[in-house]
Amino acid sequence: MTIHMNGSLTITPLGGLGEIGINCQLWEGASGVVMVDCGLMFPDDAHLGVDVVIPHFGAVSGIKDKLLGIVLTHGHEDHIGALPWLVPELRGTRIYGSSFTLALVEHKLREHEILDWVELCPVNAGTVLDLGDLRFHFFPVCHSIPECFGLGVETSVGRIIHSGDFKIDPHPLSGTGTDLQMFRDFAGLKGARLLLSDSTNVMRDGRSLTEREVKESLAGIFDAAKGRIVITLFSSHIQRIQEVFDLAVERGRTVVVSGKSLAGNIDTARALGFVKPPADFFNAHTGVPDFPDEKLVLMVTGAQGEPLSALSRMVLGGHRRLCIHKGDTVVMSSRMIPGNVKAVSRLINEMYRLGAEVLYESVHAVHASGHAHSEELRDMLLAVRPELFVPVHGEYQHLVKHGRLAQRCGVAPDNIVLLENGQPLTLMPDAFRLDARVPVECTLVDGKGVGDVGFAVLKERRILGGEGMVVVVLVMDAETGSVLHGPEIISKGFVFGQRYSHLLEDAKCLVLDAIKSAHGRSGRMQDNIRSSLRSFFKRVLERDPVVVAIISAV
Amino acid sequence: MTIHMNGSLTITPLGGLGEIGINCQLWEGASGVVMVDCGLMFPDDAHLGVDVVIPHFGAVSGIKDKLLGIVLTHGHEDHIGALPWLVPELRGTRIYGSSFTLALVEHKLREHEILDWVELCPVNAGTVLDLGDLRFHFFPVCHSIPECFGLGVETSVGRIIHSGDFKIDPHPLSGTGTDLQMFRDFAGLKGARLLLSDSTNVMRDGRSLTEREVKESLAGIFDAAKGRIVITLFSSHIQRIQEVFDLAVERGRTVVVSGKSLAGNIDTARALGFVKPPADFFNAHTGVPDFPDEKLVLMVTGAQGEPLSALSRMVLGGHRRLCIHKGDTVVMSSRMIPGNVKAVSRLINEMYRLGAEVLYESVHAVHASGHAHSEELRDMLLAVRPELFVPVHGEYQHLVKHGRLAQRCGVAPDNIVLLENGQPLTLMPDAFRLDARVPVECTLVDGKGVGDVGFAVLKERRILGGEGMVVVVLVMDAETGSVLHGPEIISKGFVFGQRYSHLLEDAKCLVLDAIKSAHGRSGRMQDNIRSSLRSFFKRVLERDPVVVAIISAV
């Protein structure tokens, strides 16, 4: 491969900037496009009924002829989760990532029965990979899942560094931690041309807690607990899982795991040598050993209060083999994602009601973030000394604050580029420019439908969900215009029928009036019925349901 | 009044225990019932379309013949907000509270056109009020709205203290602060029989920030701000509003207020002498003065990201006179309520996009809670030295922790009673008992409907909102059973019609098959159609909408 020093490179983020989630970037050089990460986002309250949110479908299918491959930094859902929906558009592509990342991808694509549509190509720390005129180097970084990479990319416009999701742990419990020296060496004496760096925790001062400190807190909890220890954690946090295994073995407790994703990830990690479960280790699915409480650790899914998770079922009922005992110590060893605070609080309160003690991050040091705090971010900036800086992986306020940090670390203010989703950044050998934004609204996935649920459908769902629906059915004689049957009125999610039957009777009279005043024009009838009933319901109930009038002429 | 020392007293919380909101207790002595507070709760995500949540309607209307009056501790919505819906059940009652509290109540009841259904009776710190065999004393406490009371109640079973919502501010910027000495004196040498105390912030260590400290932070922000200062706060926090007025006058800035509740509360407070606005003070509703940015402070509603608030409209568009300027300093001088974090974050990010700087509680000391932290709660416990302790105003985990604190303060473990909503506590002169719980599920208010939206309707709304609705209409000949018209299929919130018209065509064929297999039985037909379409949609789309089949026979 020859790298032409007179080319240009365009980086277009399809997601992840201005939001946490949907990390996905297109890197377009002279000979094609590389996709860096392919993540999803979980829907928020406004996305009624939506399962997942993925990058803009059109922007992805538009590059299929130019795609040189997909490079994955690590295996979290916000970096690999959209593959099942985008791979069908990108059939035949190669996907590059660490063994652990690809094991998770393999599992996903097999479930969707599209595994043979792509080629999975494992890379290691130190691998050098040429994709068109881009030469990728993979640097180990410490995060909260095994085998994460930062990227060093030799390009026609200079050396570019993508931090990946990272933190700096100088004394990691396993693995190499983040190898800042590799970043420093790659950037060279004059510094990198461009750094893209993780902004998630820029607003947290100092340095993130280390796993060593978390393990110490957990050890203290193990020492103090009189009954069972119930621990929830992110099911991909294999290092944390290993800590629990180790503590259990040391303290003579047996571990029982419950939850499909947790059991699955432990299997995957064990097969690749990333976790070593104790010899006597049980899956609640097949049975729970009859040991006394003080001899048990239950490791379960449900740290975010997900209603079908093992923890929710244990607490609210519905778990076939496990429940909360009085005297249990429950450790929520993960961050509460803001949208989930209510659901998690509900569980915590219920566990207190059942007589358990609950320990969580905001009160005890039982979780460490996988993302660098501001001082670690400064270390990265100082190691790489970039000419240009693009903060990534954050809400807009995080990007702004990260930009300010870069300025304090010596990056020229004009060289700090706050990209947003869909905003292409084009680098030339000694300049850069921002071209017009491309459309990149996310695509919504609901069941098997990809992209068919849009704003119109969501708006209808919002009204249906908030106000309910009233259906009016009427059969008319096509010739005479007389009413043969009805009006029948059926409501769903509107009022409790028995209590308001008088109201629905009044509504029928209004329907008949509305028909009369339409003088036989059927379109007019429907409009009249809808507007007449809507203003009636607004007046008597202050509610505005979806009203559908169906008039059949026979 | 004679207080018989051999009677009993039953306190039944209708809300506020196990949740933050709906504070409402019934105190039943020998001669009748006193209602202490009458609050509402704002709905959460599960309460689709619900406007407010109020105490159990039946539990309230059941006491109307025994009601001696309603005593209000202060004017926050979670203490007075349910009055408009419950007063019609309790016509003729007297409502006791401070002048400021009653001014807010008056405004509410006038809006609902029921002001003359009750008698508003102002009380002061020091007032002694006999209601049946209960003698109420009102003690001033410091909170986050003017004129708050704690209650000291002489009863036939001893002296009972209700802290009200309180914090302890030893050097308040105005008023008397919390007069712990009055509580101490009332409890007397042997301590109170029972203390009910605010648990909201029991999990926060130390002492709450004082208003003096908040004002200092705000002063620093005023000194540093180059452009306009935009400040949002709880619109009933009159003390904070006064601080902003004072700082504006000192720094030569003019205050413009925007937002109906803020302007209304300032009017109310001004009329009663609780706030002194500057001489040149504007309401954006009538016009914004054409002053340079550095001469303005905008005080606006919208601290919780409410979509129709002044701040949201300024940021997202829709405010007729105000918008965010580059260089504005926006101060969110209030707590982000957990359920609102997403909405507030969206606003904050958008303000950064518009070039403003945003300061909020978690990063700067721009807000102080109105609720005592653990050391202040200890002060109250030690002042009152209760024999019995009931933690109130908190989620269950807060009640548990507050109970533990009471134990550390010397209350016997058996005398710490974790009441839940609907659990009556009966005090006899030298014992207490817990009778069977009474039903107190909250009543939901949706528009003008009080209580008609229950679990069945909410469940329908949840499905409608998440999956949408499909309506099948069919007209049959009553005699021959042949199809005269249809099937017509109409969907709302289900799929984007144009893209899936083939699917709805297939569905029509299934409907015809379903009819055939019902052999003319109409109830069977509807069932067949529903189950056939539901399994069809599940299979092809993995969606499960509400399916309604309407068959008209003519």
Q: Look at A307 and A408; give whichever has higher pLDDT.
A: A408
Does B261 count as an annotated binding residue?
no
From the list A162, A371, A373, A398, the catalytic residue is: A371
The DSSP bridge partners found for residue B134 are B131
CB contact under 8 A, A49 and B466: yes
For residue B389, what is the enclosing H or E element?
strand B388-392
Domains, chain A, with CATH or none = 9-206+369-441 (3.60.15.10), 211-360 (3.40.50.10710), 455-553 (3.10.20.580)
| Contact yes or no for A492 and B341 at CB 8 A | no
pLDDT digits (tens, 9 = 90+) for A240-253: 999 999 999 999 99
Task: Report the range of poorest mean pLDDT among A358-362, A506-510, B245-249, B359-363.
Answer: B359-363
Confidence (pLDDT) at A1: 42
Give, in order, the Cα–Cα distances in Å from B519 to each of B522, B523, B533: 9, 11, 18
Question: Quick check: A499 pLDDT over 80?
Answer: no
pLDDT at A501 over 80: no
Q: Report helix, strand or coil for A530.
A: helix
Which residue, among B512, B504, B492, B493, has the nearest Cα to B536 in the 3D structure?
Answer: B504
With contacts defined as CB-CB under 8 Å, which chain B residues touch A461? 464-466, 468, 493
Closest-CA distance, B147 to chain A, in angstroms, reads 31
Q: Is B520 annotated as a binding residue?
A: no
CB contacts of B347 in chain A (<8 Å) are none
Exposure on the CB side of residue B54, measured as CA atoms within 13 A:
25
Q: In this structure, are residues A347 and A312 in contact, taking their beta carbons and an 8 Å threshold?
A: yes
Instruction: Count the neighbouring beta carbons within 10 Å of the beta carbon of residue A514.
Output: 22
Question: Which H helix or E strand runs over A359?
Answer: strand A357-360
Interface test with B, best of A475, A479, A539 (most B CBs within 10 A): A475
DSSP state of B58: H
Which of B44, B395, B461 lies closest to A465 in CB terms?
B461
Q: Which residues of A touch B352 (CB under 8 A)?
A: 396-397, 400
Nearest to B541 among A447, A500, A548 (CB): A447
Indicate the range of A275-279, A408-412, B96-100, B519-523 predicted with least confidence: B519-523
* C-beta of residue B245 within 8 angstroms of C-beta of residue B278: yes
* Residues in a beta bridge with A391: A197
Q: Which residues of chain B have pLDDT under 50?
A: 1-5
By the 8 A CB rule, do A84 and A109 touch?
yes
Active site residue A198: yes
HSE at residue A61, side-chain half, CA atoms within 13 A, is 9
Structure tokens at A181: 């020296």
Crossing angle of helices B260-271 and B238-250, in 10° steps, is 90
Closest of A288, A285, A239 to residue A263, by C-alpha: A285
Using DSSP bridges, classify how beta strands B148-155 and B158-162 pair: parallel, antiparallel or unpaired: antiparallel
What own/partner pairs with CB < 8 Å and gap ≥ 24 does A241-244 have?
A241/A265, A241/A266, A241/A269, A241/A275, A241/A299, A242/A173, A242/A174, A242/A275, A242/A276, A243/A173, A243/A211, A243/A214, A243/A215, A243/A218, A244/A218, A244/A297, A244/A299
CA atoms within 13 A on the CB side of B544: 5
Binding site residue list of A for Zn(2+): 74, 76, 78-79, 143, 165, 393
Q: How far apart are CA A389 and CA A369, in angstroms?
A: 23
State the Cα–Cα distance between residues A72 and A101, nearest whole angstrom. Answer: 8
Which residues of A does the annotation place in the binding site for substrate? 235-237, 367-371
Percent of chain A with pLDDT over 90: 64
B506 is catalytic: no
pLDDT, residue B3, reads: 45
- For range A354-379, the mean pLDDT: 92
What is the model's pLDDT at position B153?
98
- Convert the pLDDT of each residue in A176-227 to its tens digit: 789 999 999 999 999 999 999 999 999 999 999 999 999 999 999 999 999 9
Q: Nearest Cβ partner of A18 from B349, B500, B541?
A: B349
pLDDT at B315: 95
Higher pLDDT, A443 or B416: B416
pLDDT band at A494 (very low <50, low <70, confident <90, very high): confident
Catalytic residue (one of B371, B373, B398, B402): B371
B369 carries a ligand binding annotation: yes
pLDDT, tens digit, 9 for 90 and up, residues A318-327:
888 999 999 9
- Contact call for A397 and B348, based on CB within 8 A: yes
Across the range A507-518, mean pLDDT stands at 85
Provide the pLDDT for residue B1.
Answer: 41
pLDDT of residue B496: 66
- The pLDDT score that the predictor gives to residue B498 is 64
**Pairwise CB contact (< 8 Å): A44 & B473:** no
- Of the pLDDT bands very low, low, confident and very high (cuts 50, 70, 90), residue A2 is very low
State the DSSP string of A276-292: ---SSEEETTT------
Distance CA A24, CA A31 (A): 20
Q: Which residue has the tokens 């039946």?
A: B58
Q: What is the pLDDT of residue A50?
A: 83
Report whether pLDDT(A4) > 60: no
Burial A311-332 (b: 16+ CB within 10 A, else e): bbbbbeeebeebebbeebbbbb
Where is A70: in which H helix or E strand? strand A67-71
Which residues of chain B have a CB within 8 Å of the CB of A328?
none
Q: pTM to 2 decimals? A: 0.90
Which residues of chain B neighbour A332 with C-beta distances below 8 Å? none
Q: With an 8 Å Cβ cutoff, are A550 and B473 in contact?
A: yes
Interchain contact, A493 vs B543, CB within 8 Å: no
Residues of chain A contacting residue B465, judged by C-beta atoms under 8 Å apart: 48-49, 461-462, 464-466
Cβ–Cβ gap B345/A400 under 8 Å: no
- Indicate the SS3 state at residue B423: coil
Choose the weakest-confidence range: A2-6, A282-286, A366-370, B48-52.
A2-6
Q: Is the CB of A550 less than 8 angstroms away from the CB of B490?
A: yes
Who among A454, A465, A486 is closest to B552 (CB)? A486
Contact A338 B342 (CB under 8 A): yes
